[in-house]
Amino acid sequence: MTSRRTFLSGAGGALVGASLVSKAGAASLPEAPVQSSSATAAPLVPPNGRPYNPVVTLNGWTLPWRMKDGIKEFHLVAEPVVRELAPGMQANLWGYNGQSPGPTIEVVEGDRVRIFVTNKLPEHTSIHWHGQILPCGMDGVTGLTQPGIAPGKTFVYEFVARHAGTFMYHPHADEMQQMAMGMMGFWVTHPKDPRQHRVDRDYVMLLGAYDIEPGSYTPKTNTMLDFNLWTFNSRVFPGIDPMVARLGDRVRIRVGNLTMTNHPIHLHGHRFEVAGTDGGWVRPEARWPEVSVDVAVGQMRAIEFVADNPGDWAFHCHKSHHTMNAMGHEVPNLIGVDHRGVAKKINDLIPGYMVMGDKGGSMGDMQMPLPENTLPMMTGRGPFGNLEMGGMFTTIKIREGLGRGDYRDPGWYRHPAGTVAREWTGELPAAPQAPGAASTGGTGGTGGKGLTVRKPTTHKH
Ligand SMILES: [Cu+2]
């Protein structure tokens, strides 16, 4: 009870106690708090146990616990949930304690942890504690290390969180279905000494992918490659909150990938280092600078950098289709085709048909009727117009003079005078032309003014 009350006052989130499966179990089971909001909750300052510097789950929350005889007890409830992916679109997912992903679990290296898992799904499940070094029988692989948790049943997992680091949890039961429905959660084991691996801001997120037909609510779980919604913590831009940092803060962003493909995660305006993986911390002498890090399937990466460049910096997956939402993926490419008049004719036949722009899209400006419960491909609005982004995209807003624990959106960056790209109306310098640029030849011979174009040689073996 105590931890729940503390959390309520701390985060201001909408938490209500879940009804427990059986009255007999109610006496011994810890409460299972439920989060009804997809807003980013304030970090959960540990009310008991050893101190640590809490993380911030982007558009998510941390699961409160109770201490019992020196053991940290958590209660996860696997259940169907309705998750708002962004304002205007809700999805029927499966998750834990009211949300997908489930709540983040935060413990300290050396903690004895007991996790009750109640199954309210229509089929059996289990939880695998990805990356943890634990007794084999606690590993959560249905059929291999335990029977599946039948609907209505509660299982208990118990182990020592032996290593500080970045982990996740997910089912090892009917995985294709259960993970495609959103069952996953983040796990952070903090170092015993809070001065170790210390950062000022520590954000966590899981990458997700869903295939939800525009106008429908439930993901198609048989999809293997052709997903249409790419998510950070089951949210798509512009539904993803910005990350916020104070100028000079050391920032960590931990990213885990439970989709079916890799995601090159890219940060603008800064260089970072990969400081940790789900296998542990990277030794300082083994780190190198990056601006993108590929997070492969089933991997986790913790990147760290000093937020020393003020502004609103993009943070996104570098696969361009992963920064788009559901609408319009099966549209022909009409770049270079003058289709004036064609769109109207097609629209008379097929109301709502979308013609891709002949000048390269500009879909942010496109006016078209949307089916119920879907999002335009690119919708975010910025201070200079449409962002033309969706999916796995957000910003990190770096500002001078923010409070230590201030995570509120500071609004758009106010650029110092003369530091924004602008239209040029003065005289232009002559633009040099590449030799032969006007020639369309290319089958050999002379391609233009003095440039010889050679045919590629064919190698025969
Ligand atoms: Cu991606």
- Give the distance from CA 344 to its chain's centroid: 38
Token digits for 306? 């000093």
**369 CB-near residues (< 8 Å, 6+ apart):** 351, 352
Say what the pLDDT of residue 398 is: 98
Q: Do residues 311 and 269 lie in contact, with contact meaning Cβ atoms separated by under 8 Å?
A: yes
Distance 317 CA to ligand 1 centre (A): 5
The protein residues having their C-beta less than 5 angstroms from ligand 1 (an ion) are 263, 317, 319, 322
Query: What are the tokens at 431?
Result: 């633009």
Q: For residue 241, report the distance from its CA to the centre of ligand 1, in Å.
A: 18
CA of 322 from ligand 1 middle (Å) equals 5
**Ligand 1 mean position to 296 CA, how many Å?**
10
Cα–Cα distance for residue pair 42/324, rounded to 1 Å:
28
The rounded radius of gyration (Å) of the Cα atoms in the chain is 25
Question: Sign (positive/negative) of CA torsion 210, 211, 217, 218?
Answer: negative
Centroid of ligand 1 to alpha carbon of 437 (angstroms): 35
Distance 299 CA to ligand 1 centre (A): 13
Instruction: Produce one character per residue of 287-309: b if its CB has 16 or more CB atoms within 10 Å, e if not.
Output: eeebeebebeeebbbbbbbbbee
Distance 263 CA to ligand 1 centre (A): 4
Please answer whether residues 256 and 166 qualify as being in contact, where contact means their C-beta atoms are separated by less than 8 angstroms.
yes
Going from the Cα of 279 to the center of ligand 1, the distance in angstroms, rounded, reads 22
CA gap 270, 251 in Å, rounded: 11
Q: Which residue has the tokens 């100028």?
A: 247
pTM of the model: 0.83
The angle subtended at Cα 272 by Cα 267 and Cα 277, nearest 5°, is 100
214 neighbors 371 (Cβ within 8 angstroms): yes
How far is the C-alpha of 26 from the C-alpha of 36, rounded, in Å?
Answer: 22
Q: Distance between terminal CA atoms of the chain? A: 75
Residue located via tokens 């990466």 = 301
From the CA of 104, how far away is ligand 1's center (Å)? 22
For the chain, the structural domain boundaries read 2-206
What is 385-432 written as a DSSP string? EE----BSEEEEEEETT--TT--S---S--PPTT-S-----S-----P
CA distance 59 to 104: 11
Pair 89, 373: CB distance under 8 Å = yes
Q: Count CA atoms within 13 Å of residue 27 on its CB side.
A: 2
How far apart CA 431 and CA 424 sit, in angstroms, is 15
Spacing, Cα 252 to ligand 1 middle (Å): 20
State how far the Cα of 258 lies from the Cα of 313, in Å rounded to an integer: 25
Rounded distance between C-alpha atoms, residue 457 and residue 47, angstroms: 71
Structure tokens at 321: 């289709």
Q: Check if CATH label 3.30.70.660 holds for domain 2-206.
A: no
Q: What pLDDT sits at residue 461?
A: 44
Question: How far is residue 424's CA from residue 451's CA, in Å, rounded to a whole number?
Answer: 33
Q: How far is the CA of 316 from the centre of ligand 1 (A)?
A: 8
Q: Which helix (H) or strand (E) holds 184?
A: none
Measured in angstroms, how far is the CA atom of residue 192 from the centroid of ligand 1? 34
Q: Is 144 exposed, middle or buried (0-12, 13-18, 19+ CB in 10 A)?
A: exposed
Low-confidence stretches of the chain (pLDDT < 70) are 1-27, 327-347, 349-370, 377-378, 436-461
Take residue 163 and report the two structure tokens written for it. 């290593």
